[in-house]
Amino acid sequence: MAYEVPSLSYAFDALEPHVDARTMEIHHDKHHAAYVSKLNDAVAGLDVPDCICALISDLGKLPADKQGAVRNNGGGHANHSLFWEILAPGGASNPTGAVAAAIESELGGFDAFKTAFSTAAATRFGSGWAWLCVGEDGKLFVTSTPNQDCPCMKGIVDKTGRPILGLDVWEHAYYLNYQNRRPDYVSAFFNLINWDVVAANYAKATA
C-alpha cells in the first residue's frame, strides 16, 4: 500500500483571515504531498503498517538506511494529518469535557496552557512544531519538536507522548501572511482550534 494525503474537509479559504487560502493550498497540496511522496519512495518494497503512527513511533524497526527519510517524511505526513483535523472549522471554540478538566487539573488552567503552548511555539528555533500531548502516564504535557519529529517517536524525542493538538511553526505555514511575525500567527491559531476534535483525540489517547 501507499500512504496518501488526506483530503481537507473544508475549503482552502475556510480559515481566513487567520490563515490565508494560498498558504493552505501550497501547504496541503505541495508541502504535505511532498512528504507523502518521499515517504512512499522510502518505504517502497518494505512491509509497513497502514497506520502512519505505528510506522513512525518505532523507527528502530526499519532498516537503518530508511530511518532518516521515514523520520522526516513520515513525521511530516503524520503531523500535517493531525494539523488539518484540529483546524477543521465548526467545532467547539473552547475546551470542553474531559480534556478541559485535564487542562485545568494537570496544566493549571486554560490561560497557563495557552501561555505554555505559545511559548513552546515561539521559542522553537528554526522549523518545528508545538504540541499538546498525552504522556505515557496519561497526563497532559506541552512540548515542542524540531523539524518533523513527532512526539510519538520513541528514542527520538525527549518525552514520548500522543499528540492531540499541534501547531506547525515552519515558515511555510505562515510566511505569506505573517512574514517574520510568528507570535501573531500563534496568537491567531487560538481562533482556529476545533476543540471537539481535540476532545476526541484526548479520548482516544486516554482510552
Q: How far is the CB of 129 from Mn ion (least distance, A)?
A: 9
Residue type, 52: I
Answer for the pair 195, 95: CB distance below 8 angstroms, yes or no.
yes
107/165 with CB nearer Mn ion: 165
C-alpha dihedral sign at 49, 50, 51, 52 = positive
87/102 with CB nearer Mn ion: 87
Beta pairing partners, 168: 129
The residues in 144-183 that bind Mn ion, with binding defined as CB under 5 A, are: 168, 170, 173
117/170 with CB nearer Mn ion: 170
103/173 with CB nearer Mn ion: 173
Q: Tell me, by CB under 5 A, how many residues bind Mn ion.
A: 3
Q: How far is the CB of 66 from Mn ion (least distance, A)?
A: 22
Q: How far is the CB of 206 from Mn ion (least distance, A)?
A: 27
Q: Which residue is nearest to Mn ion (CB)?
A: 168
The secondary structure of residue 95, as a DSSP letter, is -
Q: Is 134 helix (H, G, I), strand (E, B) or coil?
A: strand
Q: Is 103 helix (H, G, I), strand (E, B) or coil?
A: helix
Q: How far is the CB of 73 from Mn ion (least distance, A)?
A: 12
Beta strands in 12-159 (DSSP E): 128-135, 140-146
Where on the chain is the footprint of Mn ion (CB under 5 A)?
168, 170, 173
